[in-house]
Amino acid sequence: MKRWRFDTMALHGALEGMKPNTVSVPIYQSLAYPFDDVQHGADAYADAREGLFCYGRWDNPTVQVFEKRLAMLEGGEAAIATSSGMSAILLVAHHFCKVGDEIVSSNRVYGGTFVLFEAGLEKMGVKVRWITDPSDLGAWKKAITKKTRFLYVESPSNPSLHVADIRALADIAHGKKLPLVVDNTICTPALQKPFSMGADVIVHSASKYLSGNATSLSGAVVGKKELIRALRKGPMRYLGPALSPFNAWLLLLSMETLSLRMDRHSSNAMALATYLEGHPKVKSVNYPGLKSHPGHALAKKQMRACSSLLSFVVKGKFEDAVKIINTLELWVHATHLGTSRTIVTHPASTTHVALGPTELKKAGIPPTMIRVSVGLEDPADIIADIERALSKI
């Protein structure tokens, strides 16, 4: 592998060996790859070895460039692409756990992850021990039992922007010979490198910043070669959440501009967070780039910039938050984040509704919280839209 820097890898990485060499990676819209002879077929089937393509449910040349490029950007050994972020997390849980096992997870996670761990894994006989104050390292240590199979953290978290101490959690996990799994969706490798802080496995909802324009539902697991090969040979074959070649191609296009976009996302978010923090109708703003954020010092240590996700709590009632969202014109009201457009979401009634009132409270998500994924528009227009909406309450 050539020793390129991040932005060079984002453009040129993982093209070695591709014949003929091309500028845009070809879309191999084929799910089977004829074998030279029976031995070739047997090897391809048995090995899941790189370069021996077999069947589109577990390998494809276009998807493979995306996988290798993402692994390079994360500084990991290998990656496997999945049809969504949720299926990436499911593959990891399925790999490490069997009936009777446990996992220990921060409760500051995306709502879908919460439901997967709480309800989905429970159905498979796996118990989750939630850490309701993920900054309390003692609570993580206490929650680990003989049945624990991995520790899980999302940092920063959606939507409460909790910043977890990845190095400290990796040390705790390794002290018990357990892997630490980190969801790096919100930062992407352009802003945060969990492997350099001791993480063992990284999961992504590539649907977000890696895709960048709300076109491709996608995900990935990045980790050691043995893990990725086991996922490719095992659950990817019998569960089948494969990424389509076209979505991999779209991802490769978007990832060419990843760090440029993440820088602009971050500076726009900082401008909006600073504006909101000074607004008399705003009770609090969660953005790790602000000095007032409890994870600010840690964020500065482990993130190059703070990405585009922020949330704020309005003074007043649920109805005020509703009025603000309904009044916004430029901000797109949707359940998504990490796209070029500014997106506004009401987590308590959509992305995190499945937590229910008690767990929402524990996870720090009041009904007056508004989540924003700050886009790439002119920051003055982003601020003008919320200024107008806040003036209506």
Give me the least distance between CB of 84 and ligand PLP, in Å please. 3
Give me the least distance between CB of 162 and ligand PLP, in Å please. 12
Which x/- pattern over 191-210 shows residues binding ligand PLP (rule: CB under 6 A)? --------------x-x---
When asked if residue 112 is in the footprint of ligand PLP (CB under 6 A), the reply is: yes
Contact range with ligand PLP by CB under 6 A, out of 141-149, 179-187, 253-261, 378-386: 179-187
Check 69, 108, 193, 208 and give the catalytic one.
208
Q: Which residue's C-beta sits nearest to ligand PLP? A: 85
Give me the least distance between CB of 19 and ligand PLP, in Å please. 32
Q: Indicate the residue type of 123.
A: K
Q: Are 135 and 293 in contact (CB under 8 A)?
A: no
Distance CA 230, CA 221 (A): 12
Burial class (CB in 10 A: 0-12, 13-18, 19+), 268: buried
Give me the least distance between CB of 390 and ligand PLP, in Å please. 26
Task: Look at the chain and count its residues.
Answer: 393
Which x/- pattern over 323-362 shows residues binding ligand PLP (rule: CB under 6 A)? ----------------------------------------
The number of beta carbons lying within 10 Å of the beta carbon of residue 379 is 19
Which x/- pattern over 66-105 shows residues binding ligand PLP (rule: CB under 6 A)? ------------------xxx-------------------
Distance CA 7, CA 76 (A): 16
Is 208 part of the annotated catalytic residue set?
A: yes
Write down the H helix ranges in the chain: 6-12, 38-47, 61-74, 85-96, 111-115, 121-123, 137-143, 166-175, 188-191, 225-233, 235-239, 245-255, 258-277, 296-302, 318-327, 356-362, 379-390
- Closest by Cα among 260, 225, 393, 237 to 314: 393
When asked if residue 130 is in the footprint of ligand PLP (CB under 6 A), the reply is: no
Give me the least distance between CB of 88 and ligand PLP, in Å please. 8
Distance CA 221, CA 71 (A): 9
The catalytic residue positions are 57, 110, 183, 208
Q: Contact residues for ligand PLP (CB under 6 A)?
A: 84-86, 110, 112-113, 154, 158, 183, 185-186, 205, 207, 217, 219
